[in-house]
Each structure stands twice: as C-alpha cells, then as structure tokens.
Amino acid sequence: MNGESSPGHIPVMLRESATYLNLQRGGAFLDCTFGVGGHSTYFLENFPNIQLFAIDRDPQSTFFANKLHQSFGTRFQFFNTVFSKIHDLSLPPLRGILFDFGISSAQLDDPTRGFSFRYHSPLDMRMDPSIGITAHEFLETADRRQLEEAVRDFGEERHWRRVVDLILKNRGQDVLRHGDSFAQLIADHLPTKFWEKIHPATRTFQGLRIAVNGELEEIKNALPSAFDLLTTEGRLVTLSFHSLEDRIVKQFFNEKAGKAINCHEKYHDRKPSARILTKKPATASAEEIEKNHRSRSVKLRALEKF
C-alpha cells in the first residue's frame, strides 16, 4: 500500500521514515503531524506489531483519523491538538516519533481554507480555523515590525521592504482580502527573473502562514517534549520543507548530541543524550521527486536517544 489517504495528497519519504523510526521493532509510536493520515496509514498497514498514536491541530484531520480507527481499532488513537502539547496527553513510553512539518496538499487545494493564491477565497490560513486571527486580519492589524518578521524572516523574501510597503499602503482595500488578489498585487510590483520557477508571492504566503499559526514556536516547544517521551533507543524523525524548520531541528539535534548548536558557539560543556543518525539530511529519491514535486525540498533528520 502507498499510504495515500486523500485524493491529491502524496506523503513524502514513506519508506525512509519507517526505516529511520525502526518500526519493525514494534511497540508504541507517535505521528505528530497526522494531516490526512498518509504516513499513519502506511505505518499501520505495513507494520502490524506497532501501536500508533497521532495528533493534529486541524479539525478536518478527525475525519481521516476516524476512518483509520475503523480499520485498525485499538492499534490507532488520535488527538485533535497542537503538537507542542503532547506532554499533556496520556501516552505510553514511545519508541519513535515523526514530525512532518509544513502544509498538506489537501489544505492547499481547499479554497475554503484560504491558504492558496490560486483561488478568489478569503485569506484565512489558520491550521485550526476556530483559533486566532485570519491571515487577512493579520495583514490589516499587524504593525510594521510584525509584517517585516513575517515577510523577511519567515518568508525569506528578499524584496520584503516592497511587500511590507504594499501591505501598509493597501490596508482597508479588498485587494488584501482574497488570496488571488493579494498574490497578484505582489506579482505586479516585484521584479521577476526568467529562471525562477515559483510565483512571486510564494515566499510572502509562506511567511504569512507561519506567522498566523506560530509554526516555528510550535516546533521549538514540541521537540523537547517529544524527546522526553522517547524510551532508550527511541528515535525522533523530522521532515522539513524549508530552511527555518530545518535549522531549528538541526540545532536541537546538535544540542542533544553534545555538539555545538551552531557555528557561533565555540565553547560548550554539554553531555550527549542522543546520537544523530543522519550526518547529512536524507532527501527524496529522483524517482519520488518525479512522481511528487513536493518532495524535492524535503530534508529528513533522525536522532536516537541514549
């Protein structure tokens, strides 16, 4: 089975994730970013000796989780919550935990969710639509510093000044209300290079989504909690899709492995509590990238607890 649980969504690096988690040992595992259940389905179908727990903040994930529960009964249990709150859940000691960061194709392809610039739909972008402010509300109310953080730091948009000025200049106008019109505003005012394959608004939309959902803080809070739940020889596996996520994971792994957190830390006295299994991050195969372009940017990192 391929682990596909939703039309249009293809989970990335299924076999590699299972291998690094060492699922063949059996035991209890946790999928921290369930989504539409791609990885969870593959794990349960192919490793009958595991018990799998899963969490996701998106209420729509409950539909797919219920389908898995019907198929696998007590082998599967789902919690609708943010993954930074896993320490509040009643979980057994875990032999492996998976994080698949980013956004699913199912969310992007649903016009009502307001993630995409392809649709004339209200800019929302909330992973949980019942919590927080929408992306449109953020554009209308955030101060310049917050907008700069979203576009420059989270989106890594090199023309961030121009984008922030556009947002401030067009407040109160319908152009900021919908995904397609906001994206077109950016495209009309940003220089484009013929070799660039992404839409000019891609980085801004990424930064806006990260800001609205507090995604980087979620990751920073979740990784230590996840590590604490692991048994000895338990494994933590992450799938990152852009440099900001990957940098947080890399620094956390280095800290647990007793290494310098980054190139600026020259001296440290840190006792290792884990070993890094991926000296360099693993990436998708050429065959997988050809079938699923989303996998072209994924980086897999794995850590084993002492």
How would you write the pLDDT of the chain (306 residues) with one tens digit per residue? Answer: 444 444 456 899 999 999 999 999 999 999 999 999 999 999 999 999 999 999 999 999 999 999 999 999 999 999 999 988 999 999 999 999 999 997 777 788 888 899 999 899 999 999 999 999 999 999 999 999 999 999 999 999 999 999 999 999 999 999 999 999 999 999 999 987 755 778 999 999 999 999 999 999 999 999 999 999 999 999 999 999 999 999 999 999 999 999 988 777 776 778 999 999 999 999 999 999 999 888 999 999 999 999
In a domain, 9, yes or no: no
The pLDDT score that the predictor gives to residue 8 is 53
> The domain that contains 21 carries what CATH number?
3.40.50.150
The pLDDT score that the predictor gives to residue 83 is 85
Question: Do 208 and 122 fall into the same domain?
Answer: yes
The DSSP string of the chain is -----STT---S-HHHHHHHHTGGG-EEEEES--TTSHHHHHHHHH-TTEEEEEE-S-TTHHHHHHHHHHHHGGGEEEE-S-GGGGGGS----EEEEEEE-S--HHHHT-GGG---SSSSSB----SSTTSS--HHHHHHH--HHHHHIIIIIIS--TTHHHHHHHHHHTTTSGGGTBHHHHHHHHHHHS---TT--S-TTHHHHHHHHHHHHTHHHHHHHHHHHHHHHEEEEEEEEEEE-SHHHHHHHHHHHHHHTTS-SSTT---------EEES-SS-B---HHHHHH-GGGGG-EEEEEEE-
The pLDDT score that the predictor gives to residue 5 is 47
Question: Do 141 and 204 fall into the same domain?
Answer: yes
In a domain, 1, yes or no: no
The pLDDT score that the predictor gives to residue 109 is 80
In angstroms, what is the C-alpha Rg of the chain?
Answer: 20
Question: Do 265 and 141 fall into the same domain?
Answer: no
Query: Which of these three, 173, 190, 213, is where a domain ends?
Result: 213
Q: Above pLDDT 70, what percent of the chain?
A: 96
Q: Give the residue numbers spanning the domain of 138.
A: 113-213
Question: Do 48 and 192 fall into the same domain?
Answer: no
> The domain that contains 132 carries what CATH number?
1.10.150.170
Q: What is the number of domains present in the chain?
A: 2
In a domain, 144, yes or no: yes
Closest CA to 248 of 227, 212, 218, 274: 218
The pLDDT score that the predictor gives to residue 106 is 76
The pLDDT score that the predictor gives to residue 195 is 58
The predicted model scores a pTM of 0.93
Question: Do 197 and 225 fall into the same domain?
Answer: no
Question: Do 126 and 81 fall into the same domain?
Answer: no
The pLDDT score that the predictor gives to residue 1 is 42
Question: Do 208 and 242 fall into the same domain?
Answer: no
The model's pLDDT over 202-252, given as tens digits with 9 standing for 90+, comes to 999 999 999 999 999 999 999 999 999 999 999 999 999 999 999 999 999
The model's pLDDT over 97-110, given as tens digits with 9 standing for 90+, comes to 999 997 777 788 88
Question: Do 277 and 301 fall into the same domain?
Answer: yes
The model's pLDDT over 25-49, given as tens digits with 9 standing for 90+, comes to 999 999 999 999 999 999 999 999 9
Query: Which of these three, 165, 196, 213, is where a domain ends?
Result: 213
- The backbone torsions φ and ψ at residue 120, rounded to the nearest 5 degrees and listed phi first, read -90, 70
Question: Do 24 and 77 fall into the same domain?
Answer: yes
Question: Do 199 and 158 fall into the same domain?
Answer: yes
Question: Do 99 and 226 fall into the same domain?
Answer: yes
Query: Which of these three, 213, 236, 269, is where a domain ends?
Result: 213
Question: Do 201 and 117 fall into the same domain?
Answer: yes
